[in-house]
Structure 1
Amino acid sequence: MTRWLFHISAVAAGRFLIVLVFFLLPSISSFAQTVASTQAFDAGTRLLNSGDFRGAVASYEQVEEKGLGSIALFHNRAIAHFRLDEIGHAVQYLERASLISNDDPRVEHSLDIVLTRVADTYSELPVPIWTRFQRVVLGVASGRQLMFTGIGFYLILCLFLFMSILGYWTGAWHRRIRVVGALVSVLLITMALSSSIWPAYPSEAVVLAKEADLHDQPDSDSEISDFIHEGLVVGLISEGDDWALVQLPNGARGWILTRQLGAI
């Protein structure tokens, strides 16, 4: 009997250890990955401070390959590229850092310095009022949250309409609530749908080539409408394997070779 109980206990303990290892392995792997990334980042920073900018870029690339990113990582890599006179990559990584935090003084200062090296200067189109309003709203809630909130107001509106049909909730205040509910519901749902169709912050890319031809058509033999240079941030309308349709800050559009761009 004792031997049988001992056998059951050993089997249970073995199963428990298997389950424990199964759940701990991802955590151990993640911890090891974080340690390796931290070591690579520290190595890159030492190389950056010692003047080995190419080595610093290689170390920072190792961190990015592990799927990690931070303001410090992107900012330091931008500095390394800037020291290597790779203005396009410097702008690219400073813009990525700005996406994480758009009010970091270090990033803003570095970006101001780097942009003085960008050859192209275009007048920017004014941001439409609707887009400004959309950005303010999306800064508070996501498109999904707006959609669910709009549906919630719509359901409340349906409840008030149903009660009014039954002869209840027919006062002046109830009518005002129905009107406000309808307006808020339509506005929120419209905002949610428009944010997916017309993003408040369109996709952008940076020109990495020293000079790139802007074509009228996705064909190297088509007419060249402009020449754009390294470091210019452009709107990314569509992108294929060979060609990308971009929009310049002044609203002009054209086709550029995809390999000459770097995504932000």
Structure 2
Amino acid sequence: MGESGTISNSSSPSGYALGPPWLFRGRYTLGGLFLAHYDDSPAGEFNELVVIPGIVWNPPTSCAWASRVLVNSHEACRHGRKEIGLPSQVAIFSKRDTAASEQPLYKCRKSSIHSKPKEQSEIQVLEMEDSSQIFICNISLPFAAGDNRMGPQIRISLPSFSGQTIYNPRLLKYSCQIDCRVRAVEAAKISRPRITQLNEFPNATEVKKINFDDRLTTENEERERSIAVLLSKPILALEFSLLKMQVEAPTDVTTQSRSKKNQVVDLRTC
């Protein structure tokens, strides 16, 4: 590739001419989302959707980086912005439960073998911006009726970077200590909402104005990138039940990252 980004006309031999297999070296990162309902917290009961565009390496461990945190609690939003350095936004979570029709697992000539009926929770997420409400996504959480299984008990520590926002310009690092039961589940189905779906949710009457402004502002670009992460192809889905999470006070690593020039913290997704 030339410096301009176009294909170079160099006469140097191509590595592809050596034949297969072709070897590529590089790096990548994994992103994801964290959807939670907290029955109890310092801010009371609330919902949270965290968009994680990537995992960054910070020896001796890796850390998560959240590009957007949506909560339906003004107190939790203020605390996340000021104390933890999170890019928190107030949002509306509208939920409804629907029953999916029972489908045959496979058919025989005289009878059909049916799978267990499935239900799903439909969650519509709208972000608040001034007096406007902006559609973010629809989240469909499928689950089998009567399935009360819980996985093994685990205890994990999740280190994360935060800060460098308009609310908290410092570079921060904090960790979450989590005790829970965990198991693999069917991945959620996430889609961009349609206008006609608005009236299907309980809070539909609360929507006064919908912002469809598609100007390429910094805020809109950041929001669209986060939505792109939500719409990406799922690899693994885990359900955390009986969750108890303790969030440690963040530490300021701005000075530390500047002094150690040989240990650059790369906050970009790979």
TM-score, scaled to structure 2: 0.25
Name which structure has the greater RCO, CA cutoff 8 Å, separation 6+.
Answer: 2
Structure number with greater Rg is 1
Tell me which protein shows more strand as a share of its residues. 2
TM-score, scaled to structure 1: 0.26
Tell me which protein shows more helix as a share of its residues. 1
